[in-house]
Amino acid sequence: MCGIVGAVAERNVTPILLEGLRRLEYRGYDSAGIAVLDQDECINRVRRVGKVKELSDALQQNDIRGVLGVAHTRWATHGEPSEKNAHPHMCNKSVVIVHNGIIENHSVLREQQINEGFEFTSQTDTEVAVHQVEHYLKIEDDLLKAVRLAVADFEGAYALGVISKKENNRLVATRRGSPLVIGVGIGEYFIASDAAALLPVTRRFIYLEEGDIADIRTNALTIYNDKGDIVEREIKESELSADATSKGEYRHFMLKEIHEQPSCLIDILEGRFVNGQLLDSAFGIGIDGRSAVEILDQVKAVQIIACGTSYHAGLVARYWLEAIAGIPCRVEVASEYRYRKTVLMDDTLVVTISQSGETADTLAALREIKELTNLTLAVCNVPESSLVRESELKLMTRAGPEIGVASTKAFTTQLIALLMLVAALGKRRGLAADKIKTLFQQAQALPALIEQVLQNKADIDAWSEHFTDLDNAIFIGRGTLFPIALEGALKLKEISYIHADAYPAGELKHGPIALIDQDLPTIAIASMDGYEGKIKSNIQEILARGGKVYLFADERLDVSDLGENCYVMKVPAVDADLAPILFSIPMQLFSYFVALRKGTDVDQPRNLAKSVTVE
């Protein structure tokens, strides 16, 4: 979602803030702005609708310089995308604030502040935050105290960076419900929503915890917890390099990340198996000191909670857990789970899945569940994320930075991680060691198979030309490939803006087949999983009604009887259990090439954000 950058230093921070915003563009946004306190103790602010480039161009005409400043990319929630609604927000040309999250009681605070004489220039919930800080500054005349009092009045989620012209060497930052990191330099400090924004200036980071307030100066940093006590937070050295978030030789981040999947699958498997058997240490140690062995031995059922692409990974895992491990599993979208009354069976392991580890609904669901059980596991790509820190066990996907909004390598590494969970729980329910060994020998063969698919991307590109002028499509699959059909439809919607729905192939006759005609193509997926005869019958039903089918099929499947209106793309032979991972790759490439031909913004599709940190 929105992106925050801030800096207090002994050098001009404007280029640092601007570069930080560029590195946060992947999060999704509609406007950008910057505010810097200059040597005359005046706050200079520039805001623009559109891309960071628009802001950069404006700064060429406005030479803003200073040693203290904040910047922001906004994804509109309250108020349309406009310059007046863009951050940073300012009160009386004295206090400036940048904010991620939502102040849920903003209407009540706005009414109070209007009665106190505050003037509003925007439609945002954030403006009440800056007014509230100014209100308390008049009472306390200390920025830290004013921020502490102000946030006590807020309901909802926030990450804040606050500066005042009265204190030219001070940046106050705080978070609750939205991520915020402090970058540690030499004689300088930085804040950001994501460490990636600060990699050009530091690789040392402090990850603020819930309710923390940081008092930041060039030569000092003091962090207070939500009780007001001074605390020490560990400084962590990032293993990422500044160029880890660059496109390199690729036209788009998405294409780069699709091509990174073979190496990512090697990385997630490395060091987690001995003699073909999974090490329980891969799951870490519980917050309360319990070993993974002790926790996993207790599990009798699994509840998976996730959103979007991660939810689709969870649906695949349900098939695996029940068919391979013999353990009951439920999967639910986090935004639904957290708002309904649920029944959690005893000894149920609650698995939350999130690429960023900051997905608002998933985090909220975890926090509610922790009041009922301490059997929790996070499958995540970011070790320092809230989801990882607050879960008993954690299984890191090791995918590295994923910048493209449409998830690719995060999804396939989530599937491998969930396969590890299947093996760990399966061996406790009698799954043979030979079966587990074979399963992961097949997993280790996947990178080479993915490379074969990538070598055929020109053929997939050729298919995409057929979709340039289309507005609708249907995806079908059976068994573990139905969630891959869902994921394929989501990818096509996300980046090409084609309306796409996915169905279990057997559901066609229960309604969707009424839509079939020559202008509505069907994308089908078929592996040698025992369902191949059934899905061929479904394809015949579509063809008989004048429809066109684009079939991604295991190379062993006989398609000679499907006719000329069924276009076939062969996928390397793969074991049925591993088919969801391999078949994800052509789905990703297909969506990418369609979007390319449509001329859409592949890496930053409209209205979307990489990490959904607000409801």
Q: Is 373 helix (H, G, I), strand (E, B) or coil?
A: coil
d(CA 486, CA 119): 48
d(CA 543, CA 360): 43
d(CA 352, CA 362): 7
Find all residues with CB under 8 Å of 363, minimum gap 6, and list them. Answer: 177, 352, 354, 386, 387, 390
Please give the structure tokens belonging to residue 519.
Answer: 């202008």
d(CA 164, CA 594): 48
Q: Which residue, 577, 521, 571, 602, is CA-closest to 252?
A: 602
Between CA 313 and CA 320, with CA 319 as vertex, the angle to 5 degrees is 85
Other beta carbons less than 10 A from residue 26's beta carbon? 23
d(CA 563, CA 559): 8
Please give the structure tokens belonging to residue 399.
Answer: 């995918």
Q: Is 489 helix (H, G, I), strand (E, B) or coil?
A: helix
Please indicate whether residue 42 is annotated as part of the active site. no
Q: What is the 3-state secondary structure (H, E, C) of 410-437?
A: HHHHHHHHHHHHHHHHHHCCCCCHHHHH
Find all residues with CB under 8 Å of 542, minimum gap 6, and list them. Answer: 508, 513, 516, 522, 549
Other beta carbons less than 10 A from residue 459's beta carbon? 12
Please indicate whether residue 610 is annotated as part of the active site. yes
Selected catalytic residue, list 409, 427, 548, 610: 610
d(CA 399, CA 425): 23
Q: Is 235 helix (H, G, I), strand (E, B) or coil?
A: strand
Find all residues with CB under 8 Å of 141, minimum gap 6, and list them. Answer: 166
Tell me which residue has tokens 């592996």: 527
Strands 522-526 and 472-477, bridge-based pairing: parallel
User: 396 phi and psi, to 5 degrees?
Assistant: -85, 140
Q: Cβ distance 58 to 46 under 8 Å?
A: yes
Strand partners, 348: 301
Q: Cβ distance 495 to 591 under 8 Å?
A: yes
Selected catalytic residue, list 2, 91, 307, 329: 2
Please give the structure tokens belonging to residue 588.
Answer: 């990703």
Question: 15: alpha, beta or left, given left = phi > 0 and alpha = psi -120 to 50?
Answer: alpha
**Known catalytic residues?**
2, 610
